[in-house]
Structure formats: structure tokens, C-alpha cells
Amino acid sequence: MHTNNNKIHMDIAHIKFLFKEMLRIRRFEEKCAELYTQEKIRGFLHLYIGEEAVAVGVMQALMPEDAVFGTYREHGHAIARGLSMDKVMAEMFGKVTGSSRGRGGSMHIFDVEKRFYGGNAIVAGALPLAVGLALANKMQNKNNVVTCFFGEGAVAEGEFHESLNLAKLWQLPILFVCENNGYAMGTALAISESQQKIFRKAQNYGLAAHAVDGMNVVEVESAASQYCHSIRNGEGPCLLECNTYRFRGHSMFDTQLYRDADEVEQWKIKGPIKKLKRWLEANGKLAADELSQIEDEVAEEINKAVAFADKSPFEDVTDLHLGVYAEETS
């Protein structure tokens, strides 16, 4: 894909790439759920199933030097950003080969080489950090974009409002991405927000902002690319609201008393992978053998990651105190 005069051109190869990226996340998350029941993965596990189009779409707009802040539902962000599946899986196993040496787990995946700054389990906690990193970029005359993902639940936090105000006040190069999946854990947006159109809150702070169909990866990529283009041109921060849905519970402990099974089924019909697959097949761009080849490649990558995580060692307990402070030089 490339942008030219703000018009987006995508070829079939790129659309198939998007399809495979989303499938990688979907299958990875399904495997995580399985591994959780086997107690290979412990703690809280928040699956990204249903929301894949958001991470995959937004990441296409970013360059290697751009930075990403994710949420605690960030496996999808990490994989779409290009972190190795081996390291992400090993992190969830708590192994020393994990992206954060196993210290963080599912909610704290970091990879500085990929400029991926977590993995933050305090709702809205990463927004001020993203503002600060964007401030640092501006102060150092770097033309990089900082991207910060958060759920619609985060907009109820003061840090959301403080961050949007600071970002616009200082005209920072930052893209806020709201993954609006309708529920803050079990609390529906309708019973928690007076203004339920998140992008309007951002507009009130002077940011360019609008909502897109977060189940449509092409639409997400297109919108994110246009925003990143304007951010790189020094036009200030933007907010993209992606309306999406999580097909699984909030975490593995969620019995989902707060929503109807029928609602979930209705959204699944609109699922991002299903939707794109239907389109590719209807246009004769995805033959059955090609689809099975993609599935096989994805399965192989995941199996390899699981094997890597499984055979990796745990960190020696004698290293317990490492990484709390910087190594003293004296």
C-alpha cells in the first residue's frame, strides 16, 4: 500500500497480507486460550479475538522509528508490530527468553528494538507516557509518530483528558487509537459515558478525530495512514475511534453475564477476518488451496513459538533483584 495525495491504493497482495496478519493474531490467541486451560499461561489473559483489524490496520501506517504503546490486551498489537511470536509466547510462559524476560507476562510485553513500549495494565496509564515520548520526539526534532492504543473505558479516566489536552496544547506528533469494543470489562459504554461518541471528546480538545468501522481492516489502515501523514506534516495530534467488539470475555475468568449471547453472535457475523475472507473469495482472489496454505503457515509459526516457549528456561531465581534499578557503574 502507498499513499499519494492522501488517496490510498491497495493491491491484492497487500490485502492478502492484512488477512494473514489478522489470522496470525486470531490463531495465536486461540492457542493462548488453550494453553491457559493447560496452565502453561497463568495470571490474567485478555484475548484480542474480534479486534484484529484495529491493530493490523493501524500498524500498516507506522514506520520502524515510530513508537507504539499498547493496552493490557496487547498480544495483537505486539504481533502486528512485528515482535517475534516466539518472544511473545515465551513471555506468557514466564520464560527468560520472553520479550520482557518473563517479568511482565501477558499484560507487559515490551520490545524496545521494535519501539514497542508495553503492555500497560493501568487503564489510561500509558496515555501520559505516549504524550511524553511524543514531546521528546518534538524536542529532538524527530519526525516520528507515537501511537497509543486504549479502550473506550479509558476515556472515563482523568489521564485521557489530561493527555489529549497536553497533546494538542503542545501540538505533538501522536496518534491516539481508541479501540471501542463497547464494554469496560462488563460495563457498557451506554451506562458509563454521557457522550458515547469518543471522537467528539477529542474534537472538543481540538484534535482531528473521527470514527471508523473497526471490523474493516482496510478502512482502519486507510484512516490511520491519512492521520499519520498529517501528523508527520506537523499538523498535530489525531484520534481514531475504531468501533469493534471482543468475541471472548474480558479475561479468561469472565462469565459474560452483562451481554446476550445473541449480541455476540451478531457481531461475529461482522468479524474482521470473516468479512475480509468473504470479500476476497467473492472476488476470486482467495482459492481454497491458498487459504489452507496460509492457515498451514500460521499454524507452523504458532507451533514453533509454543515449542520455543516450552523448551525455554525460567530465569534463575538468583537473578531476582536484577532490573529493578539500572546497574550501578561504580
Partner 1 sequence: MNDQQLSYREALRLAIEEAMNADERVFLLGEDVGNYGGCYAVSKGLSETFGPARIVDTPLSESGFVGAGIGAAIGGMLPIVEIMTVNFSLLALDQIVNNAATIRHMSGNQVSIPIVIRMATGAGKQLAAQHSHSLENWYAHVPGVKVLAPATVADARYMLSMALKDPNPVIFFEHVMLYNESDKLPVPEDCPDMHSALVRQSGNDISLVTYGGSLSKTLEAARQLAQQDISVEVIDLRSLRPLDTQTIFESVHKTHRLLVVDEGWHTGSLAGELCALVAENCFWSLDAPPIRVCSEEVPIPYPKHLEDAVTPQVEKIVNAVQGLLSKETVS
Site residues (vs partner 1, CB under 8 A): 67, 98-104, 108, 110-112, 117-120, 122, 125, 127-137, 139-140, 158-159, 162-163, 165-166, 169, 322-326
Q: Please, which residue, 126 or 305, has the CB nearer to partner 1?
A: 126
Least Å distance, CB 74 to partner 1, is 13
Q: Please, which residue, 186 or 323, has the CB nearer to partner 1?
A: 323
Least Å distance, CB 123 to partner 1, is 10
Q: Please, which residue, 100 or 312, has the CB nearer to partner 1?
A: 100
Q: Please, which residue, 127 or 189, has the CB nearer to partner 1?
A: 127
Q: Are 59 and 87 in contact (CB under 8 A)?
A: no
The C-alpha angle 179, 205, 74, rounded to 5 degrees, equals 20
Q: Are 10 and 60 in contact (CB under 8 A)?
A: no
Give the sign of the dihedral formed by CA 76, CA 74, CA 268, CA 199. Answer: negative
Q: Please, which residue, 18 or 166, has the CB nearer to partner 1?
A: 166
| Distance set, CA 328 to CA 167, 193, 322, 323, 325 (Å) | 35, 47, 11, 11, 8
Least Å distance, CB 104 to partner 1, is 4
Least Å distance, CB 195 to partner 1, is 20
Q: Please, which residue, 49 or 238, has the CB nearer to partner 1?
A: 238
Least Å distance, CB 92 to partner 1, is 13
Question: What does the alpha-carbon distance between residue 2 and residue 262 come to, in Å, rounded to a whole number?
Answer: 39
Least Å distance, CB 325 to partner 1, is 5
